[in-house]
Structure 1
């Protein structure tokens, strides 16, 4: 009976693929696997590799892949968190995917993005780590209908558990609360962003006991100046967490 069920399931999957063939996440063209990118869109997605800044994940020229290095900005303004990584640069197809996830209700992007994030997060992961998300203010959450960062954090936690079965990760996307609505940061400079976001994020009272002395990984869709991550990390550290690391799907490049 089990063999018949498996055969029927395979037949159904094949029929569904004929009716709904896999499409590229970027351009909608035909691809071989679900949740994939075609060759053109893949080449237009600036994945981060090689030597990166240990603080913010920005790619750095030269050096050895495993060396610990920091960009000029992280040396000038050391982040409050311990380590940071990003999966892609915020450009090309990566920017389009982030915008589609954030504003276009494209939840199908979460699964492949989680794979990219899990790979980028490998140097950050440690036993007992809480995986959480940058929160939205409740009004923005109601308007959008979902928090894209929470979708990413949950998927990343699942991928990391699949990669390391004995890893004691805690999936807690509601660890943080956005206690104050803030204006759009798009046109603001670094100092103004940090000023606006200072104190705007706090710990969910229901999660405070879980947090004590535990390392935390905070996930967001985009890192620009790091102001949002700073506010979130500060809240965790003030509440008695262990070391805090940050992870972004896309890293905005610094102006030359």
Structure 2
């Protein structure tokens, strides 16, 4: 006879206790001891900058103060050229604290970090998760996927789908061509390189029609990748596309204001 729900909970707690005895819990981002697996020590936790208001109501870029917001709570870039997606949100400001979680996750095979990052994303993007019909990750080009062995955005999307009870299709979007690293490029250069770089699979085109899609990525910088993906999804018949990222890079033009 399978164990009852209380019995399963007891077994899970016993298993966790045995694991903690064999492998004492330590901080996700340093070697400090912690009380529970999958958490950070106090020092590392305090270095995380949660992305809270004020931020642009459209692209989610953080403001230094509410006075930087224009009409409708938008940044100047969104006022000048509104993005194709509806709204973008992120859990963390992309700074040194966030990098200690995201860089090992993205480049260091630390796939265990998907769970704590997804939990933070679910809190920051609760409204977007509640409104969506379908969760889709930003894809990697097949060559990069082959070298990295996993798509970090897909791991986050799958975790978010479990937390929200929403369907996730990891292979709905495809990156049709490889693009060079975008880190040092400006917004216009990023947009030019990414134009037409994403398309839907045949199955994806059928699945997305009439759906509100939540696009998931690890780091949102200029928004060019989100824009290119959103355009492909909307062209295939999605009713709306929102974006949820683990971290958002601040706009240096906004941050430089005294």
Q: TM-score, normalised by structure 2?
A: 0.89
Secondary structure of 2:99's match?
Answer: helix
- Give deviations 1:66-98, integer Å, cap 9, x for gaps: xx6222222223111011101001102211211
Change (3 A) 1:91 1:173: same
Q: Which residue of 1 aligns with 2:42?
A: 39
Give unmatched runs, 5+ long, in structure 1: 162-168
Q: Which residue of 2 aligns with 1:165?
A: none
Q: Which moves more between the two structures, 7-16 or 18-27?
A: 7-16
Q: Which residue of 1 aligns with 2:202?
A: 205
Q: Which residue of 2 aligns with 1:111?
A: 115
What is the count of residue pairs matched by the alignment? 246
Change (3 A) 1:45 1:7: closer
**Which of 14, 18, 37 is 1:15 aligned to?**
18
Q: Which residue of 2 aligns with 1:226?
A: 223
Q: Distance in 2 between matches of 1:9 and 1:48?
A: 33
Q: Which residue of 1 aligns with 2:103?
A: 99
Secondary structure of 2:43's match?
Answer: helix
Q: TM-score, normalised by structure 1?
A: 0.89
Q: Distance in 2 between matches of 1:226 and 1:136?
A: 16
Q: Distance in 2 between matches of 1:195 and 1:58?
A: 21
Cα-Cα RMSD: 2.1
- Give deviations 1:2-58, integer Å, cap 9, x for gaps: 588876664443232112111111112111112111111111111112332121222
Superposed, which structure 2 residues align to 1:62-77 within 5 Å? 62=66, 69-77=73-81
Q: Does structure 1 conserve the Cα–Cα contact (< 8 Å) formed by 2:91 and 2:246?
A: yes
Q: Does structure 1 conserve the Cα–Cα contact (< 8 Å) formed by 2:91 and 2:245?
A: yes
How far did residue 171 of structure 1 move? Answer: 1.2
